[in-house]
Structure 1
């Protein structure tokens, strides 16, 4: 609704996502403050649920519940599933218990489980007790699976057919169950004990002879995952096969649910965020939004690795102190220490980034782990040779002789080769040990290249100085 003209709100064709949510939120706040509730309903009518959810999340707390109550029942449930966990919890506190129960009852099981993961245990127990017996059973079953597995990610809202159904009977079943299922484009076939036996697409079903049996038109080779499969593996499988959904089976190969592509997109974003935080040696919360987190919590998560790095880099200080004689004789050598250890750290970070990404996408296995390390070592050597062309002449000129230039050149080549090798090998080692390669590699590579780089540089300079003096 346009506030000036009273005309219904129409989002411009190019106004999408962030900008649309901003404009809707501004108009929502203005209308709610003025008590124009009919205008709010007209405003939100053409807007997509995800944009409504974002707009409500931008409102002051006192107006969020009011805006949410003005939504139609079916739309409110869909909008609620898109809200941030903090806004969901706030609405649960502000809505009447009957409204809360109705929303939670109607949510899809996977979204309900994600909500329960964010709520205090006491609240979860109360809501579980008030759910209908069937929804309580399904929710309790999914909560029983380990976090970040297919069992916690899936929904049980899927259509399963029987091999003895005719295509016409199957179409009738699909029409009847479609309003209550997550997707109808992939249809699964099970036997009397719900063992997964086949799959067919909606296209295959529609184009099949009405009298044909499902067992004759289905595909028997079904790609599936188990309930305990890690969510990253689930995401890779859906990405690999371009599926809209992937069936989930239990240990006895009974169909228990499906994971849909929209849930996988959330997983990919979550895992990518964790890897980025880990690459910066930042301990991230599982679902926390950094920009909404308490600053003391943010500082606590960052300071852990900073303390580790400070202690580890004490080794660098020790190495410099052990070689102070050569620095006393040629003070200019100290000026190139930051250049060398900085280069080593950057080369190591580049190699570790490539290898960690290869581990994440599983493409590094195609090349071979040893070949990947050798490849990065050679790349590090080539980088060192290229940098020699620029650094050595400058160091020679600054040092007014061959000593500094030769020490810098030899050390630079050795450091870039070592850093690239360590950057490739350490993530593979940590992955083999069952540790997070993204989190563990950053501090260890930085420390290893700093200590080794300074040691190589100063020992090389000491050796050169000794031989020059003996000539």
Structure 2
């Protein structure tokens, strides 16, 4: 038996549980073709939870569930759907349905949608938009991808310095419905140049006849339209802002970026860095919704690079065959040494790359960071070397082999820590993404050096 969700029940239910309950009940009602029941089920549910529930439905039911929403609900829910599902719904809807949804989207969300659609479809939709919405969308699409201009919204409230608090409040009441946020108010001159910022709190607390120029803040934070989106997100985080003004080259206010958009940027950038650290080509779409051919194509690039570089390890081993032939026991410890070295290097590179991306460390501090990681590598090498020497002697009963393994592990840990901390700084100084110096790449480099060190140390200790 199915049941609707009351508002009181939703308030006392964890969000993840709500999503699962709504999805399960919605799928059951749709299978029974009980569309009125499905409609009633969704009434008290928030837009983001409806979007997630629709996303989790079988593909054949997604468009049906979306059609059950009222026009106002559909517009809100649509903005929370992933790009691939947005495109599928557009393709399934009739022309006027599509136009109603696209027309009422916020400009920044519409611009993100258009980035995902084929150019032919974008041109057709742009022609059908009202002149106001078309101009707002073209403004955003005119800026480079991944910049402040591309992710901003032109929906904000601006005031003049000579306004009184009463006039300002009246303007807010009149324009609030068409603004992305009203928590920050922006003061501009006659040429639309940004001259100050005022919070709603400060305005409400001010005397009604006080003029804006006496209560606004002239020392404010802003970004330009060509500022990288990651820098925008860091700025919002650093100054604890709910919104950040965007100006053009002439200091004219053209839009704002709200904290929810900054969170989306941080999530996308973090995903990209994690993919790169794992040796995986990133994409803008949902990895788990991408077809398997595309998934394989993205993953094979780095794997081919690693496959080719790993041949260097084989070449080193072949060049030292005489050592291995005389002391076969050395072979058993090669995987242990190169895996440990790769892991040490990956740890160092990960903390440095993360520090660079969060602005916690700068290239100017490279020497101090490398020294710190080198000391950490020496400590790790000493601890691991002692343990592995005892273990190797226990297994093989050969003190010379055990010492070769232990000394090699100390040296490999030092080199791995140095390489893992230095190479990301090198990439950043060259203007490249430090995440490209990913863990698999460092692991491969340390593998080659590790084998070379190990076999030469063994040759020296065993006097072969």
Please confirm whether the aligned pair reaches a TM-score higher than 0.5, indicating the same fold: yes
Match of 1:224 among 214, 222, 225: 222
SS in 2 for 1:368: helix
Match of 1:430 among 415, 420, 427: 427
SS in 2 for 1:246: strand
Aligned position for 2:276: 278
Aligned position for 1:72: 70
SS in 1 for 2:79: helix
Aligned position for 2:177: 179
1:367 Cα deviation after fit: 8.0
Aligned position for 1:108: 106
Is the counterpart of residue 88 in structure 1 residue 86 in structure 2? Answer: yes
Query: CA offsets, 1:116-174, max 9 Å, x none?
Result: 11111110000001111111111111111111111111111111111111111001001
Aligned position for 2:49: 51
Aligned position for 1:141: 139
1:9 Cα deviation after fit: 7.9
Match of 2:39 among 16, 35, 41: 41
Question: 1: distance between equivalents of 2:65 and 2:392?
Answer: 67
SS in 1 for 2:438: helix
Aligned position for 2:382: 385
Is the counterpart of residue 335 in structure 1 residue 332 in structure 2? Answer: yes
Q: Which runs of 4+ in 1 moved over 6 A?
A: none
1:33 Cα deviation after fit: 4.2
SS in 2 for 1:75: helix
Consecutive unaligned residues of structure 1, counting only runs of 5 or more, are none
Aligned position for 1:197: 195
Match of 1:207 among 205, 209, 218: 205
Question: 1: distance between equivalents of 2:348 and 2:44?
Answer: 49
Aligned position for 2:288: 291
Question: 2: distance between equivalents of 1:121 and 1:373?
Answer: 48
Question: 2: distance between equivalents of 1:57 and 1:234?
Answer: 30
After TM superposition, list the pairs within 5 Å mapping 1:131-170 onto structure 2: 131-170=129-168
Is the counterpart of residue 25 in structure 1 residue 23 in structure 2? Answer: yes
Aligned position for 2:298: 301
Match of 1:455 among 443, 446, 452: 452
Query: CA offsets, 1:264-296, max 9 Å, x none?
Result: 1111111111111111101121x2212111112
Tell me the C-alpha RMSD between the 2 structures.
Answer: 1.8
1:96 Cα deviation after fit: 1.6
Question: 2: distance between equivalents of 1:104 and 1:280?
Answer: 37
Question: 1: distance between equivalents of 2:2 and 2:453?
Answer: 72
1:443 Cα deviation after fit: 3.6
Given the superposition, is the C-alpha separation of residues 67 and 10 from structure 1 closer, same or farther in structure 2, using an over 3 Å criterion?
A: farther
Given the superposition, is the C-alpha separation of residues 63 and 321 from structure 1 closer, same or farther in structure 2, using an over 3 Å criterion?
A: closer
SS in 2 for 1:247: strand
Match of 1:127 among 125, 128, 147: 125
Q: Could you tell which deviates more after superposition, 57-66 or 339-348?
A: 57-66
Is the counterpart of residue 412 in structure 1 residue 409 in structure 2? Answer: yes
Cα contact 1:8–1:42 (8 A) shared by 2: no
